[in-house]
């Protein structure tokens, strides 16, 4: 379900997990699969992130985002 894009909270409800169990299960099943990683990388590429990495891109966007927030 997670790989299909179902939010973790919905999966937890369907599975009947209590809040404390949800934390444990998120550690066990909340890993990022190959398709999710590929999708994330493609989204970064579409946003113009190059080889210098997502962290550098995010830091370069911090200034404009702060200006929008004010």
Residue 43 has pLDDT above 90, yes or no: no
Domain count, the chain: 1
Burial class of residue 2 (count of CB atoms within 10 Å of its CB; 0-12, 13-18, 19+) = middle
- Residue 39 covered by a domain: no
Residue 52 lies in a domain: no
Task: With respect to residue 69, please indicate whether it lies within any of the assigned structural domains.
Answer: no
Return d(Cα 16, Cα 50) in angstroms, integer. 42
Would 4 be classed as within a structural domain? Answer: yes
Q: Is residue 64 part of a domain?
A: no
Q: How much is the pLDDT for 8?
A: 84
pLDDT attached to residue 1: 83
The pTM is what? Answer: 0.42
Say what the pLDDT of residue 65 is. Answer: 55
pLDDT band at 51, cuts 50/70/90? low
Q: How confident is the model at residue 16 (pLDDT cuts 50, 70, 90)?
A: very high
């Amino acid at each position: 379900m997670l790989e299909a894009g179902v939010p973790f909270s919905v999966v937890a409800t369907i599975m009947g997990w209590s809040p404390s169990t949800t934390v444990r299960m998120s550690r066990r099943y909340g890993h990022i699969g190959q398709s999710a990683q590929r999708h994330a990388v493609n989204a970064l590429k579409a946003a113009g992130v190059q080889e210098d990495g997502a962290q550098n891109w995010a830091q370069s966007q911090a200034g404009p985002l702060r200006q929008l927030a004010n």
